[in-house]
């Protein structure tokens, strides 16, 4: 009969953001192949006898090649095993999940995709940045900031700059200078707001904001690094408003005298 492979999205970092269906699959898995950005707390949900296989990738450094991962999924999937392929975010959003699904389908291995919360929506939300807004952002696009050959030269930045209100850019930190230059060259205003959110949804979340003109220097000053989400567009302004209102409320609350005990 063979087993079944579950291509699972673990979400953007906070382990509590995983879906119930994904968690159940982890708990009954015989084999789990997991990526670098998967929160390790999720692996504690696996059985003690589950075979855990690390498939992590660093920028420009692959612990395990994609072809090897595909081979292992097929190998274990053909056995009478429940196999989990655990990925950060969503498996079909810049997660190579489609490549793995094709490899499984070609070899007659049953599989199921269990979606996960993608970073392009969740990470900005944790930073008080709505990916859409009725006045500031009526459209958004998720974009890769790192293509197969390095710089995302294949991306049609001119069309994105002119037709989309908000850009959520994945894996773009190493090419941030290139990306901002392309957007500016494509007609985007130098004063367009931009936010960089490092390790979003986790306890280590760090946020810096600026404009297309200033953000590269700001990132260098604050030593921002991967993993990070880049958000470009006027919706970034909402976080400034929310931050101001929160601070104002806290100050007003401190000024209210405590009620005397009766």
| CB environment 120-139: b (16+ within 10 A), e (fewer) | bbbbbebbbbbbebeebbee
The DSSP secondary-structure symbol of 11 reads B
Q: Which contacts (CB < 8 Å, 24+ apart) does range 251-255 have?
A: none
pLDDT digits (tens, 9 = 90+) for 141-180: 999 998 776 688 889 999 999 999 999 999 999 999 999 9
Can you identify the CATH homologous superfamily of domain 120-244?
A: Tetrapyrrole methylase, C-terminal domain (3.30.950.10)
Residue 35 among the catalytic residues: yes
The one catalytic residue among 35, 78, 173, 209: 35
H or E element: which one contains 136? none
The one catalytic residue among 87, 171, 173, 224: 171
Residues 172, 145 contacting (CB under 8 angstroms): yes
pLDDT digits (tens, 9 = 90+) for 189-238: 999 999 999 999 999 999 999 999 999 999 999 999 999 999 999 999 99
Residue 171 among the catalytic residues: yes
List the domain boundaries for the chain: 4-117, 120-244
The one catalytic residue among 4, 30, 57, 128: 57
What CATH code would you report for 4-117?
3.40.1010.10
DSSP string, 142-189: EEESSBTTBS-TTS-HHHHHHH-SEEEEES-GGGHHHHHHHHHHTT--
Cis peptide bond prior to 35, omega within 30° of 0: no
Q: What is the pTM of this model?
A: 0.90
């Amino acid at each position: 009969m063979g087993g079944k492979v579950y291509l699972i999205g673990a979400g953007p970092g906070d382990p509590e953001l995983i879906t119930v269906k994904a968690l159940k699959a982890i708990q009954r898995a015989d084999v789990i192949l997991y990526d670098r950005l998967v929160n390790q707390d999720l692996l504690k949900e696996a059985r003690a006898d589950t075979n855990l296989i690390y498939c992590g990738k660093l920028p420009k450094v692959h612990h395990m090649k994609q072809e090897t991962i595909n081979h292992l999924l097929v190998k274990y999937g053909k056995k009478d095993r429940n196999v989990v392929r655990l990925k950060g975010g969503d498996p079909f959003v810049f997660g190579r999940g489609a490549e793995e699904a094709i490899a499984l389908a070609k070899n007659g291995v049953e599989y199921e995709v269990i979606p996960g919360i993608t970073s392009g929506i969740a990470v900005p939300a944790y930073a008080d940045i709505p990916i859409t807004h009725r006045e500031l952002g009526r459209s958004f696009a998720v974009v890769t900031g790192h293509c197969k050959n390095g710089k995302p030269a294949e991306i049609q930045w001119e069309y994105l700059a002119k037709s989309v209100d908000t850009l959520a850019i994945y894996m773009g930190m190493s090419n941030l200078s290139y990306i901002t230059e392309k957007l500016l060259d494509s007609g985007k205003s130098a004063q367009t707001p931009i936010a960089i959110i490092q390790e979003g949804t986790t306890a280590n979340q760090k946020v810096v904001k600026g404009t297309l003109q200033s953000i590269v220097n700001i990132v260098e000053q604050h030593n921002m690094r991967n993993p990070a989400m880049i958000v470009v567009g006027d919706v970034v302004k909402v976080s400034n408003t929310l931050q101001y209102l929160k601070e104002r409320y806290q100050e007003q609350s401190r000024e209210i005298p405590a009620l005397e005990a009766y």
